[in-house]
Amino acid sequence: MLPLLIYSGSIFVFGQNIQIFNTSNSGLPENTIRAITFDNSGKKIIATDYGLSIFDDFTFQNINSTNSVISDNSIRSVIVDQSENIWIGTTSAGAYKFDGTSWTNFAPENCNIPDHFIRTINQDITGNIWFGTVEGLAKFDGSNWTTWTLSNSGINSNNIASILVKPNNDKIIGTLNGGIIYYDDITMTEYTLLEGGIPDNSVTDIAMDDLGNLWFATPSSGFYMDNGTQNWQVYSMSTSTIPTNGLTSICYNPSNGNIYGGSLETGLIRFNPANGVISNFNSDNSQLPDNHITCLKTDASGALWIGTAGGGLVKWQDPDAGITSINHSLSISPNPFEESIFVKVYDPVEIKLLDLIGNSVDFEIILEAGSSTLVPDPNLPSGVYILGISLPDGSKKVTRIIKA
C-alpha cells in the first residue's frame, strides 16, 4: 500500500482564499512543483522533484523510486489520458505510463523516443501521445513512433518545451531557441524572430482561451497572443505594465476570462483581456510563498493551482473568478474534545476522522437538523487528529482537532 498523508493549513488574505501545501504542513513530498493536472474525479496529479503525488483534497498518495519502478524522481511533465492512464516525463529515465496497476517505461533504449529528458507530454483528439524532449518531438500511436528532429525534418530546434492540442486537433508546439510550430498533421508552419515576427524564439508554455486565441509565455519577452491572423499582440515591459519579461507558464481561466502568467522572480501575473488591467501578486503583497512560479492550472471550480520552485503548491480562489462562495456557517467544537465532537453545518456530504498518518478513525454519528455529533471510541488515544468535512458546493474543510 502506498503512503497516504494529510494536509492542513488555509490562509485568508485581502479577500483571497489561499491554501498552501508544503512538506511542513502536508503530505506533499517535495516543495518544488514542476507540473499539475487533474483526473476525471478531480484528483490533482502533481509532478515534483521527488516523485509523483496524487491529492484527493484529503490525502497525498506519493509515488517515487522507493515504492515503484520509477527510476528517476525528477518529474517534469504529467498528463492523464482519455483512458485515465497517467503519463509522466522525467529528466533522465524517459517517460512512464501508469494504468492504475503497472508502469511501462519508454526510453531510447527500448523505443524510438528521442531522449531521456521529457519536458512536456500531451494527447491529441485521436489518442496519440505527443512528447517534447530535449532532442526532438515524438508521437506515439500505441504501436508506432514518429519523430521530428533537426536531422530528419525542418524544425529549428530539438528542444521542445510545450505542446498544445487545439479542439480541431491541430498542434501548437513551442521550442527553446527555435520559435513556434503550427502543425495540422500535414504541414508544419514555423514562426521565428526573423521569419514570422514573433517576439521571442523561446516559448515556455501555451494556452488557448474560449475565443480560440493562443497565448504564449516567453522567458525574455513577456507573453503574446495570436488571434488566428499571426499579427502577434505583445505584452512586455516595453508595451505594457507587466512587471517582468521572464515568464515560465501561462493558463486561461474560463470562469472569468483572465489570463495568468507565472514568472521567474516576480510571482503571479493576472491579465484581464476585457479591460487590459494587469495585476501582480507576489510574496510582498500577498501570501504567495515563492516568487518563482513553475506551473499553473485552473480546475473545474475556477480555482488556480500554482506550482512554485521552492514554496510548495498553492490553491488560490481568485476573488475575480466570478464565483460566489456559499456561507455554510460551519463550526466545530469543542477543541480539544474529550468524548464527542459537535459539527454544525448545513447538510455536510461527508465527514472523515483520520489520524496523522491517514488511517480512518471509527466513530458513531448522531444526525440532527443542521448538525452532527461524532462519538469516537472512548478508548481513542489522546493526540492530534484530522477532521475533514465535504460541503454541498464541493469545497472541503480540513482542520486539526485534539483528543484531550
Q: Residue 370: which CATH number?
A: 2.60.40.3080
Q: What is the distance between the alpha carbons of residues 168 and 124, in angstroms, rounded to a whole number?
A: 9
User: What pLDDT, in 10s, does the model give residues 76-127?
Assistant: 999 999 999 999 999 999 999 999 999 999 999 999 999 999 999 999 999 9
Predicted TM-score (pTM) of this structure: 0.78
* 252 and 138 housed in the same domain: yes
**What pLDDT is attached to residue 391?**
64
Query: How many domains is the chain built from?
Result: 2
Residue at a domain's end among 292, 317, 342: 317
Question: Largest Cα–Cα distance in the chain?
Answer: 75
Q: What is the distance between the alpha carbons of residues 212 and 276, in angstroms, rounded to a whole number?
A: 18
* 299 and 347 housed in the same domain: no
User: What pLDDT, in 10s, does the model give residues 153-204?
Assistant: 989 999 999 999 999 999 999 999 999 999 999 999 999 999 999 999 999 9
User: What pLDDT, in 10s, does the model give residues 37-78?
Assistant: 999 999 999 999 999 999 999 899 999 999 999 999 999 999
* Helix-strand-coil split of the chain, %, nearest 5: 0, 45, 55
* 303 and 355 housed in the same domain: no
Cell of 7: 494536509
Name residues whose C-beta falls within 8 Å of residue 24's C-beta, 6 or more positions apart in sequence.
none
* 306 and 371 housed in the same domain: no
* 214 and 108 housed in the same domain: yes
What is the mean predicted confidence (pLDDT) over 331-353? 76
Q: In what order do the strands lie in the sheet with 258-263?
A: 247-253, 258-263, 268-272, 277-281
**What pLDDT is attached to residue 267?**
97
Cell of 353: 476522522
pLDDT > 90: percent of the chain = 70
Residue 144 in domain: yes
Q: What is the distance between the alpha carbons of residues 7 and 319, in angstroms, rounded to a whole number?
A: 23
**What pLDDT is attached to residue 237?**
96
Q: Residue 122: which CATH number?
A: 2.130.10.10
| Ramachandran category for residue 347: left, alpha or beta (phi over 0 → left; psi -120 to 50 → alpha) | left
Q: What is the distance between the alpha carbons of residues 331 and 287, in angstroms, rounded to a whole number?
A: 25
Q: What is the distance between the alpha carbons of residues 257 and 275, in angstroms, rounded to a whole number?
A: 11
Range of the domain at 384: 331-403
Q: What is the distance between the alpha carbons of residues 294 and 264, in angstroms, rounded to a whole number?
A: 8
Instruction: Give me the DSSP letters along 63-97.
Output: ESTTTSS-----EEEEEE-TTS-EEEEESSS-EEE
Residue 323 confidence class, pLDDT cut points 50, 70, 90: very low
Q: Residue 403's closest CA among 334, 338, 333?
A: 338
Asked if the model's pLDDT at residue 150 lies above 70, the reply is yes
Q: What is the distance between the alpha carbons of residues 253 and 31, in angstroms, rounded to a whole number?
A: 24
* 96 and 29 housed in the same domain: yes
Asked if the model's pLDDT at residue 205 lies above 70, the reply is yes
Asked if the model's pLDDT at residue 351 lies above 60, the reply is yes
* 215 and 349 housed in the same domain: no
The radius of gyration computed from the CA coordinates of the chain, to the nearest angstrom, equals: 23
Cell of 392: 454541498
* 117 and 199 housed in the same domain: yes
Looking at this protein, which amino acid is placed at residue 53? S
Residue 211 in domain: yes
Q: Residue 360's closest CA among 2, 1, 77, 4?
A: 4
**What pLDDT is attached to residue 370?**
62
Residue 10 confidence class, pLDDT cut points 50, 70, 90: very low
Residue 322 in domain: no
* 88 and 12 housed in the same domain: yes
Residue 239 in domain: yes
Q: In what order do the strands lie in the sheet with 95-98?
A: 75-80, 86-90, 95-98, 103-106
User: What pLDDT, in 10s, does the model give residues 250-297?
Assistant: 999 998 899 999 999 999 999 999 889 999 999 998 889 999 999 999
Q: What is the distance between the alpha carbons of residues 205 and 215, in angstroms, rounded to a whole number?
A: 8
User: What pLDDT, in 10s, does the model give residues 20-39?
Assistant: 999 999 999 999 999 999 99
* 347 and 298 housed in the same domain: no
Asked if the model's pLDDT at residue 349 lies above 70, the reply is no
Residue 323 in domain: no
* 149 and 242 housed in the same domain: yes
Residue 221, Cβ neighbours under 10 Å: how many? 24
Name residues whose C-beta falls within 8 Å of residue 133's C-beta, 6 or more positions apart in sequence.
113, 114, 115, 116, 117, 118, 119, 158, 160
* 101 and 223 housed in the same domain: yes
Whole-number average pLDDT of the chain: 89
